[in-house]
Structure 1
Amino acid sequence: MSLLARFDFWGFPGPARDTTYRIIFQAETRSGKLFDVVLILAILSSVTVVMLDSVPYIAESYHQPLRIAEWIFTILFTMEYIARLWCVASKKKYALSFFGLIDLFAVIPTYLSVLIPGGEVLAVVRILRVLRVFRILKLVQYMGGADVLVATLKASRFKIVVFLITVMSIVVVVGSVIYLIEGPEHGFTSIPRGLYWSVVTLTTVGYGDVTPQTGLGQTLAAFLMIMGYALIAVPTGLFSAEFVQQNAAHRQGSNAPVQSCPGCGSLEVDPQAEYCRYCGQKLT
């Protein structure tokens, strides 16, 4: 092997790059597990700082310590992002991947708050850091269940559409009737106001900002509330029956090990996958 072959185009030794990749993306090693533990603690701590910073009296009393802590976490996450970008085979594919964008959005708001006037409003985007825990804890492998949910929704879509149309029809009819019964003198100033009350009552939320005062209106409200409980059971039954069938079909191979893409660092839960669904890189 020539001397140049031992270095990547960044000028770092190839083995160092491979070691960094194993530590960051493959947590089977002792150092990789330690890295994940430290990163989880840093993420949770940074999210705590973001939440505390949103409390007015805490932000006023501890503004400087919170600011320092935020910059420490931002610098750490920036270094981690650069390390991830460096050790993957495809820089662009990782940068444009879902978790790559999450990693980027985890650090950008702090810099924007300094560079752009009024950029502090973007600070809430930092809360997206908590999504990074999904990758670190390998929770993506459990998100395979999301495929079952999507398949269930697709299989039940026509039944759900019919159900929603029925609900909308009930809302429109009852909302119009309650407007005729109660009228503006009882707070039902328009049909849209009646529709709002109908939705709130049908879902059994009952804010109480608009209430029927007449006996007939209260009877209609009672009928609508009882109907609301009945309507909850209909989509639940439809969805549950279809979910059982889809879950049985999906169960085979659900315990397969998760693969890490060497190109963009994404996790692949499909045991039959040979290429990354995000960047097309061949899986090892």
Structure 2
Amino acid sequence: MEGDNQLSLKHRLHKIIFEADTPSGKAFDIILILSIVVSVLVVMLDSVSSYRAAYGDWLYRIEWVFTILFTVEYILRILTVEKARGYIFSFYGIVDLLSFLPTYLSLLIPGSQFFLVIRVLRVLRIFRVLKFTQYILEIDQLREALASSRRKIIVFIYTVVTITVIVGSLMFVIEGAENGFTSIPRGIYWAIVTLTTVGYGDISPQTNLGQLVSAIIMIMGYGIIAIPTGIFTAELSRKRWSKQTTEVCPHCSKEGHDADAEYCKYCGGRLNPE
């Protein structure tokens, strides 16, 4: 009986943490997303010298609160899946680990805490809360209605913002204030100007590694701007997707299952073990 209660508790926790089809699951994901956004803002403010001088102690304490919160969440995710290895080495598992690991590394390697902006990748979970898999069914109507195209534009903008936040933070660490990268927002500004191939020239990397990163992002910029968005839209419109849910397999931690599925299409495990 006690073992059944433990399994039932584990199953309930799994539905709350990994799925967004229930009220509790949606609430968990929304709270998590808000925490991620706030924590990223805290890291950015901490990189600005004036804010760090005035509120450094408070920012440090807040950062550790979020780090402990995300650490507990990561441990709960491992404990509530049947095969922890599947989650640990999944895309979200790696991002979840990197979202709090730099804080602990900062105790040994000064400056590594600024890589915590990688937490912004975790906001990808918002697509589960909004049932983004259902929106894909409407992408083939982008040519017919402007309202439908907004969703595609939001996804594109989010991708660009994610790239600029990560690259801007990377350049802040590589180049530093002596080369004009005085803060993460300043680095993000440079990344936006470079990715869009505007190239004002007011900030430029001086180190070999910084110039290498600059070259990579400039090539990425040409790719993003030169490739017509219509090609990507047309490719998606040729696909036909069945109705899917946000249910996550408790065995392999993969999602995207059909609404009437009882077993995982990736590993064959039962989706709702009793």
TM-score greater than 0.5 by the shorter chain: yes
Q: CA deviation at 1:268?
A: 2.2
Long gaps (5+) in structure 1: 8-12, 149-202, 210-230
Which residue of 102, 110, 121 maps to 1:131? 121
- Say which one has the larger Rg: 1
Distance 1:267 1:135, change over 3 A: farther
Partner of 1:267 in structure 2? 255
Distance 1:206 1:57, change over 3 A: closer
Task: State the AA in 2 paired with 1:263.
Answer: H
Partner of 2:238 in structure 1? 249
Distance in 2 between residues matched to 1:62 and 1:204, nearest whole Å:
36
Q: CA deviation at 1:206?
A: 7.4
8 Å contact from structure 1 (residues 25, 260) kept in 2 = yes
Distance 1:136 1:266, change over 3 A: farther
Matches within 5 A, 1:58-97: 58-97=51-90
With the length of structure 2 as denominator, give the TM-score of the two structures. Answer: 0.58
Query: Higher RCO, 1 or 2 (CA under 8 Å, sep at least 6)?
Result: 2
Which residue of 7, 15, 21 maps to 1:14? 7
Q: CA deviation at 1:73?
A: 0.3
SS at match of 2:106: helix
Per-residue CA distance 1:60-81 (angstroms, 9 max, x = gap): 2111000000000000000000
Matches within 5 A, 1:1-150: 3=1, 5-6=3-4, 13-114=6-107, 116=108, 119-138=109-128, 141=133
Matched residue pairs, number? 191
Task: State the AA in 1 paired with 2:255.
Answer: L
SS at match of 1:265: coil
Partner of 1:282 in structure 2? 269
Partner of 1:168 in structure 2? none
8 Å contact from structure 1 (residues 260, 283) kept in 2 = no
Q: CA deviation at 1:53?
A: 0.7
Task: Tell me the C-alpha RMSD between the 2 structures.
Answer: 3.6
With the length of structure 1 as denominator, give the TM-score of the two structures. Answer: 0.56
Per-residue CA distance 1:64-106 (angstroms, 9 max, x = gap): 0000000000000000001111001111111111100101001
